[in-house]
Chain A
Amino acid sequence: MNRLGKFLQIDRRWIFLAILIAVLAPFIWPMGLPIVITKPVQDLYNAVDAIPPNGEPLFISIDYSPSTVPELDPMALAILRHAFSKDIRVAVLTLDPAGYGLAERALEAVAAEFGKERHKDYVFLGFQPGISAVVLGMGINIRNVFPEDAYGTPLSEVPMMEGIRNYDQIPLLITLSGTAVVEAWVIYAHQPYDAQIGAGVTAVMATDYYPFLDTGQLVGMLGGMRGAAEYETLIDRHDAGVRGMDSQSVIHILIIVLIVVGNIAYFGSRKRAPETAGGDAAA
């Protein structure tokens, strides 16, 4: 085995260490790199911004679980802050059981920040199982699937829900999700009932939904922590999203360097000794 081949077989824990340093350093020495706004984010922001204050509520469906919190929680907080700062009413629900605790925490925290009143300015509808059944059910009558809010108050006794029957009275519904739930909203709410759907998704899912953006099946989209950072920039309130962007920059560059160096070493070692595949692996 030649030296390049050996180099490729270094203990991968050295690489783990490099990543750890790359993620930590920018937290300690922030660079404050500027963030440019992209169109899907601007579109979603505009759609929220156009909702009249103290009228029909913005619906936010917190459809994510703890495993994607770092990407999606900043989005939830930024959108809630945007809505409450403009006195837009908000109804929050979740189609993921694990979203229950996450939604409740985010909603109560931001509502307290803005001094908003439960049932007048916001309502938490809680969780209902059966994704497509819930989405379709809301098209007939929200009360069919959410007869009461998460704390047992019948929707008929929630003042802000008066006259809100189905998607016709929902100016915009934003789903925040790390799974294909987004598609369920497109297929079962937009398609049959013409509901306006916006999405915040993990970066993993983002590229798959570009066709939906193009056809207007989604009005706008936030993709990953970067999308959250853009939204934070738009509402001028920097938080976890913006704070993470410096680390993101550094790690991306590190990974690109690793790909390039790895390929050079790989092809270099093969040119000289094509049979060296193998060797002693680490870990």
Chain B
Amino acid sequence: MRRHVPLALCFIAGVFMAIQYFIPHPSVQAWYERLLAWLQTLLAFAFLIGTVSLVRLHAHKIGHKVAGRGYSWVLFVGLGLMVGFGFKGRAPGSPFDFMFQNVQVPIEGTMFSLLAFYIASAAFRAFRARTLEATLLLLAATIVMLGRVPVGDLLHRSIPAATDWILNVPNMASKRGIMIGVGLGMMATALKIMLGIERAWMGGTD
């Protein structure tokens, strides 16, 4: 019950979803549509698991008086406000939308823009042409960085052309190779999961 049933369900669902691609007959497609809708529902429920874990983690911090638990309260206030507002209305201009546009959007957007600073610092202190490979990489990067901004066009006409060439020839050839390799990896993982060779998703050992 604990191991065999889930593995069997996994196998059946997987094989069915894989072979329906080749069978247009409505008797198969009707079940395909049904299962697709189920998967979608499951995904929505699975997403909420993350929220439950988050709440448990921070409740634990507050409960055990861990240092910095004040921030856990901040988190709960944010969560509570959003849920409270959300059930009242979500139209543009509502408090829910106000919080999204003026808290979530700016903070999340700014977090990633911090990296622009770190890239500059790394450019000076870490990006080294130590090997032939790294040298090639940095050279190509320099050309592309110049060729994709207006100033590159001004410096020399051939820079944008060289950038296009890099993107369309060496970049495309290597990315195509990587795309194939990663694709094989994706399929192999999917297959191993379906066949029960790879069971990490079950967690635990019992």
Size band of the B side of the interface?
Answer: 35 or more
By the criterion CB–CB under 8 Å, are A130 and B33 in contact?
no
By the criterion CB–CB under 8 Å, are A263 and B128 in contact?
yes
A34 shortest CB reach to chain B, Å: 6
Which of B3-11, B55-63, B73-81, B113-121 touches A?
B113-121
**What chain B residues lie within 8 Å of A16 (beta carbons)?**
117, 120-121
- List the interface of chain B (C-beta within 8 A of A): 21, 29, 33, 36-37, 39-40, 43-44, 47, 92, 97, 100-101, 104-109, 111-113, 116-117, 119-121, 123-129, 138, 142, 145-146, 148-154, 160, 164, 167-168, 171-172, 175-176, 179
Known A15-B120, A210-B175: A256·B109 in contact at CB below 8 Å: no
By the criterion CB–CB under 8 Å, are A144 and B33 in contact?
yes
Which of A63-71, A84-92, A164-172 touches B?
A63-71
Answer yes or no: A208 CB below 8 A from chain B CBs: yes
Alpha-carbon distance A148/B43, docked complex (angstroms): 20
**What chain A residues lie within 8 Å of B119 (beta carbons)?**
255
> Count of A residues near B, CB < 8 Å?
60
**What chain A residues lie within 8 Å of B145 (beta carbons)?**
252, 255-256
**What chain B residues lie within 8 Å of A203 (beta carbons)?**
148
By the criterion CB–CB under 8 Å, are B172 and A34 in contact?
no
By the criterion CB–CB under 8 Å, are B124 and A245 in contact?
no
By the criterion CB–CB under 8 Å, are A102 and B40 in contact?
no
Alpha-carbon distance A211/B116, docked complex (angstroms): 28
By the criterion CB–CB under 8 Å, are A18 and B120 in contact?
yes
Answer yes or no: A137 CB below 8 A from chain B CBs: yes
A221 shortest CB reach to chain B, Å: 11
**What chain B residues lie within 8 Å of A129 (beta carbons)?**
40, 43-44, 47
By the criterion CB–CB under 8 Å, are A248 and B149 in contact?
yes
Q: A249-B151, A252-B149 are in contact. List 11 more A-B contacts (CB 8 A).
A: A8-B124, A16-B117, A66-B105, A101-B100, A105-B92, A133-B43, A144-B33, A210-B172, A245-B150, A251-B120, A263-B127
